[in-house]
Amino acid sequence: MRDVGDCSTCPPACSAGGPGSARIPQAVTARGPSASHTGAGSFGAGCCGPDHGVFDYSDDPGPRDACGVFGVWAPDEDVAKLTYYGLYALQHRGQEAAGIAVADGRTVLVFKELGLVAQVFDEVTLASLSGHVAIGHTRYSTTGSSTWENAQPSYRSSQRGNAVALGHNGNLTNTVELAADLVDTGEDRIRATTDSDLITAMLAAHPGPTLQDAAMAVLPQLAGAFSLVFCDTSTLYAARDTHGVHPLVLGRLGGDAPAAGWVVASETAALDIVGAEFVREIEPGELVVIDAAGPRSRRYAPATPHGCLFEYVYLARPDTTIAGRSVHAARVEVGRTLAREAPADADLVIGVPQSGVPAAVGFAEASRIPYGEGLVKNSYVGRTFIQPSQTIRQRGIRLKLNPLRDVIDGRRLVVVDDSIVRGNTQRALVRMLREAGAAEVHVRISSPPVRWPCFYGIDFATRAELIASSACVEEIRESLGADSLAYVSLDGLVEASRQPAETLCRACFDGVYPVPLPHTDHLGKYLLEDVVSEITAGMNGADPSPDVDSVVQSG
């Protein structure tokens, strides 16, 4: 493991704790009499996911996951439509683009576009995608820009005279090395700027006789986080990185033997939506091959589990189960823990829709303070709405949330939210609640302070943009204008997950990264775009700049 920093920027009095520590934070209260009140087409980026916001939501989009993946092998089913429904269930994991690839034993056909699942596909499109194998993908970009080329599934013709289509959830940490290995393969290999496309290119270029042989050779070369679904013309494959950072599950279609088909998905909720029975999780370091003989397991590397703890906080649907633990139950338990660790003298507990609600219910149960619905969410507002001007923003237009004044007026509130990234959303929320008549606003957060960026598939801001990386709890409270602020402890969150602490990735909270990270020059969302532009310049007869050339060649 690599420990990449400390919490020296946070004064000891604010209970920051060092990397790996889990000190129980005390509620930080305002000093003085009161707190500061102060069919497909060429679609653009899709609507926002399950996150929340107030006023100009785009100013503080909150954490975003890389994507959702889905795959099905079912000869007697409409696999394209099943995949469409599966992607609908995984829309929260990516809203920038969606795509489906189908295989019929002879060819692989890919249809993808920018936009939400419902914007990209219609009945006519789905009817044209026939076969017995399908994979699908919903994307939020964590490497590369939001372009059609970077939408997934990615596609390559292979050395074996076959084709490969692939969907990827996660981020690789050795992208530069992989790109350097593909420099001499021609312009066709560099048309996209994602680590997912590099994986696809490696699988297609491998000289082995089957895609299974290629996967067993390529997967051990990948570092970082990846939950993969991929296919050739006849077979479905699924693979998970050795740490199992993000979830990937196997399901069965049809209750009677033999099975009518097999499904792979990012979350168990997607299995429920398509009527598949949960079989098991794909294990870390495992490749699963699915064809007419059923699922077969191959171990390509030993497992060293470090599942993403933030899946329980925010990323996964509440109706999903991860490692045997209900996400909803975990969030409710976190709320109970938060009430014990940071009680508040208040009249009403409210949750910030949607991911803050289960923890708010748990807080209310443990504190015996009534729970109420104090905020109404407009689920249809996202990044496709017309952006407000600065003047309109200053007038306080409420794009995502609106308070129930009759519930809030004159009451002391506990407001439970899942996390704080930059703080803009919570700052506007506190102001809105005060304008609605709240007597006091006590903010409780159902995760520890997010102080470190994620390099494994969550598009957290850089560390400089994370408010908790440079401000202590009291400073954040003052910035939000809340009467008090408290976070759940890291120990409390881990306990609610019911997973052993050593099997979880907690890097965004403690700065300890289970997968070693390269030099910072080899990290970044748009790293491959710089590499590709320099490679392309070299192919066109120009000399790549010394700086970028050295990055490509150094590995």
Would you list which residues are annotated within the binding site for [4Fe-4S] cluster? 308, 454, 505, 508
**Annotated binding-site residue numbers:** 308, 355, 417-418, 454, 505, 508
The residue type found at 531 is V
The residue type found at 130 is S
Q: Where are the beta strands (DSSP E) in 311-396?
A: 321-322, 325-326, 348-351, 375-377
- Provide CB contacts within 8 A for 31, sequence distance 6+: none
> Which residue among 10, 47, 67, 472 is the active-site one?
67
**Annotated binding-site residue numbers for Mg(2+):** 355, 417-418
Name the token pair of 439: 């007597």
- Quick one: how far is CA 126 from the chain centroid? 26
Peptide bond connecting 354 to the previous residue in cis, omega within 30 degrees of 0: yes
**Residue of 522, 548, 412 whose CA lies nearest to 171:** 522
Name the token pair of 158: 């292979």
Q: Is 67 marked active-site?
A: yes
| Burial label, 53 (beta-carbon count in 10 A; 0-12, 13-18, 19+) | buried
The CA distance from 455 to 165, in Å, is 24
H or E element in which residue 291 lies: strand 286-291
Helix, strand, coil percentages (3-state) for the chain, rounded to 5, are 30, 20, 45
| Burial label, 398 (beta-carbon count in 10 A; 0-12, 13-18, 19+) | middle
Classified as helix, coil or strand, 548 is helix
Catalytic residues: 67
